[in-house]
Amino acid sequence: MTTVYERRAAPPVPLAPRRSPAGAVLALLWSGAAAVVLLWWFDTASVVGAAGWLTGAGRIAGLLCGYACAVLVGLMARVPLLERRIGSDRVARWHAMAGRYTVCLLVVHVVLILAGYAAQDGFSVLREAVTVVLDYPEMLKATAGTVILFAVGVTSARAVRRRTGHEFWYYTHLLTYAAVFLAFGHQVALGAEFTGHVLATAAWYALYLGVAALVVWFRILVPVRLNLRHRMRVELVHKEAPGVYSVVVRGHRLDELGALPGQFFRWRFLAEGMAWTSTPYSLSAPPRPDLLRITVKALGDHSAAVPLLRPGTRVWAEGPYGSMTADRRSSHKSLLIAAGVGITPLRALFETLPGDVTLLYRARTAEDLALGGELEAIARGRGARVLCALNGPRGERPRLTAESLSAAVPDLAGHDVYLCGPHAFARDLYEVLRAAGVPDRRIHHESFEL
């Protein structure tokens, strides 16, 4: 099904898309890692024998692991510069990568330090491990932190996460804070780089206290202020399509949130069975001074309970987050590609993006086209196109190829493309768009499936 409306001529508006600070942030993080290695280099006069090499390598791994722990927590702090300018999904990927680095460095640190100490003392590795844990200062706490960090790493593995609920993963993940806190003491108590080195010790404390301040400010104080100030409650819940429901939230002075079409909040509904879960849902309509709207598909326990929400239910929200907004544009022509409930942020963008806009909506049947009536009305009002890719009469899926997209959307390579849908769909469409000549910088996508 294709709906085409005549476009209204409008004078072009100069575009000045904001540059992402991702490169600068990554450079800063890697510079910090280099500084940590230099800290060991300047503190080490010489390395002698196998025990010295093992211990030295273990010290480097330990310093990098301690630094990675700080980075890991900092990326969890939901700093607006990262969440809104770089994108929550990219920050989440960085966090996952930092987590893998942290666990690997931790293993290397433990193995090499124990091997080096054992070679130096002439003990077995097992005996050395018992001595280190029981006799060295701060090591009992550090051992507990190590066990917790390993547990978090195991539950974060993709194969394990698929078999556990989001709530279990979320609360286990929060134990990272406890692990880092427990392990910090042994770093400054036993680290040769800090013993008698006031500046190095002060810098290490500044790193950890700075990260802790970010977490307290952006994950605790800012959300508390937001929710006390705006006092949000469920206004109404209504069905959009089979298994898809919209929730309208009313609050005070919501325009002060600065939310943009394409962004999302993390929502916690203070209803029975839902208050302990915070889930990201995108705005499915442009925000109003007193109303916000999200549209949710029943895919898990939390989303399946959304239709049961009653008007007046209190809402705890954090945000706005996300960088898939009009600020990313570099062209006057935009193509929005949605699959399933991925239509939600694109519906808000479809109404507000200036210029020449085309929406491609992939769904199984016409009945599954959530918000379809609104999309038709928006297209009619602004003179835009809605293209629907539906399954055939026998359930066969339409093929979205570089050729078919280029035929449906003239000058496809000159469009900014906003892409939202299931991870596999978005991955496949990204490859199709690249094959069609769309530059990577013009493909805008955020995913919560990390």
pLDDT, the chain, mean:
89
pLDDT, tens digit, 9 for 90 and up, residues 341-368:
889 999 999 999 999 999 999 988 888 8
Range from 49-53, 159-163, 308-312 carrying the lowest mean pLDDT: 159-163
> Which pLDDT score is estimated for 356?
93
The single-letter DSSP state of residue 217 is: I
The percent of residues in the chain predicted with pLDDT above 70, rounded, is 95
Number of alpha carbons in the 13 Å side-chain half-sphere of residue 315 = 30
Question: For residue 423, what pLDDT is reported?
Answer: 85
Percent of residues, the chain, with pLDDT higher than 90: 64
Nearest to 70 by CA among 194, 213, 195, 197: 213
Spatial strand order of the sheet with 291-297 comes to 233-241, 244-250, 291-297
Residue 263: pLDDT band (50, 70, 90) is: very high
Q: Which amino acid, one-letter code, is at 85?
A: R
Residue 219 has pLDDT above 70, yes or no: yes
Rounded Cα distance between 174 and 73, Å, is 10
Describe the chain by its helix, strand, coil percentages, rounded to 5.
55, 15, 30
Q: What confidence tens digit (pLDDT) does each residue in 398-434 have? A: 889 999 999 999 999 999 999 998 888 989 999 999 9
- Identify which has the larger pLDDT, 196 or 107: 107
C-alpha to C-alpha distance for 105 and 229, rounded to whole angstroms: 43
pLDDT tens per residue, range 1-15? 344 333 333 344 445
Q: Looking at the predicted structure, is the pLDDT value of residue 160 above 80?
A: no
pLDDT for 86 beyond 90: no
The answer to whether the Cα torsion of 132, 104, 33, 20 is positive or negative is: negative
pLDDT at 66 over 50: yes
Contact by Cβ (8 Å): 141, 186: yes
User: Rounded to the nearest 10 degrees, what angle do helices 175-190 and 198-216 cross at?
Assistant: 170
Please write the tens of the pLDDT for every residue from 14-41.
455 567 788 899 999 999 999 999 999 9
Q: How many CB atoms lie within 10 A of CB 385?
A: 18
Average pLDDT over residues 232-252: 94
Q: What is the pLDDT of residue 85?
A: 84
CB 303 within 8 A of CB 279: yes
